[in-house]
Chains A and B, each alone.
Chain A
Amino acid sequence: DQQVKQNSPSLSVQEGRISILNCDYTNSMFDYFLWYKKYPAEGPTFLISISSIKDKNEDGRFTVFLNKSAKHLSLHIVPSQPGDSAVYFCAASKGSSNTGKLIFGQGTTLQVKP
C-alpha cells in the first residue's frame, strides 16, 4: 500500500517556465513533508520541507504548498533551469515519534529544456 504517491512519472517544461510537481498521501498521521532531488549516479539531496502546521514554505526558486484537507502537496520551481533536470522525490514523516524514518513517493523525472 503506497502511502505517498507521485502519479506523474515524468514532466517536461521549457526553461524559464514554472515546474509543478505533485504528491498525494493517504496517512493523516504524517506531520512533516520533504522534497529531495536526485541526479543520476548520486544520492538524493534535501531540497525543501514543510511542517503540517504550515501551508506554504519558500526557499528561493522553490516553494512547497501543502493542502491537508486534500492530503496533497506540490513543489513549484520558478523559473525552471536546465540544471533542475533530475528526479524529484516527495517524502513524509510522522515526526518526532518516528525517529526520522521517511516514506517516499515513486519519484517524478523533471526535464527542463533550454
Chain B
Amino acid sequence: DAGITQSPRYKITETGRQVTLMCHQTWSHSYMFWYRQDLGHGLRLIYYSAAADITDKGEVPDGYVVSRSKTENFPLTLESATRSQTSVYFCASTTTGTGFSPLHFGNGTRLTVT
C-alpha cells in the first residue's frame, strides 16, 4: 500500500546502545523529516532531508544521525542511546519544500531507553 511506514512500532533498548529507526515512503516525496513527540513539547524537528544525499539539522539534532541514500528511505540512528531520548518518533514526508504543503506522518515508533 502507498504511504509512509515506520519500523519498529515499539523498541526497548539500553543506555549506550546504538539503535536505528526506519522510515519508508512510497510517494516519491522529495522531502522527509524526523520529529520526536514529548509531553509538554509537542513535536520537535530532529533532522530533515530535501533529497537523496541532502540532510540538515532541525531543532534537536544532538545524539542523532541520519542518512538518505535512496529517496524512499530515511533512517534515524541513535549512536549511543540515553534515557532523555525516550520518546515517540515520527517520520514525515511532503512533496515540496515550502511551508504550504502539509506533512504526511507515519504512525510512529515508541522508543524506551532503560
Contact = CB atoms under 8 A, between A and B. Distances in A.
Interface of A: 4, 6, 31-32, 34, 36, 41-46, 49, 51, 89, 91, 93-96, 98-107
A59 to B, nearest CB: 12
A91 B92 CA distance: 14
B41 A99 contact: no
A39 to B, nearest CB: 10
Contacts of B40: 106
Given A43-B90, A43-B92, A98-B98, 11 more contacts: A32-B99, A36-B105, A89-B43, A93-B99, A96-B98, A99-B50, A100-B96, A101-B33, A102-B43, A102-B99, A106-B41
A49 B102 contact: yes
Contacts of A45: 105
A42 to B, nearest CB: 5
Given A44-B90, A100-B94, A94 B99 contact: yes
B45 A101 contact: yes
A99 B100 CA distance: 10
Contacts of B103: 44, 46, 100, 102
B58 A101 contact: yes
A29 B6 CA distance: 33
A94 B99 CA distance: 6
Nearest to B92: A43
A42 B104 CA distance: 12
Interface string B48-68: 101000000011000000000
Contact of B106 (A32, A43, A93, A103): A43
Contacts of B8: none
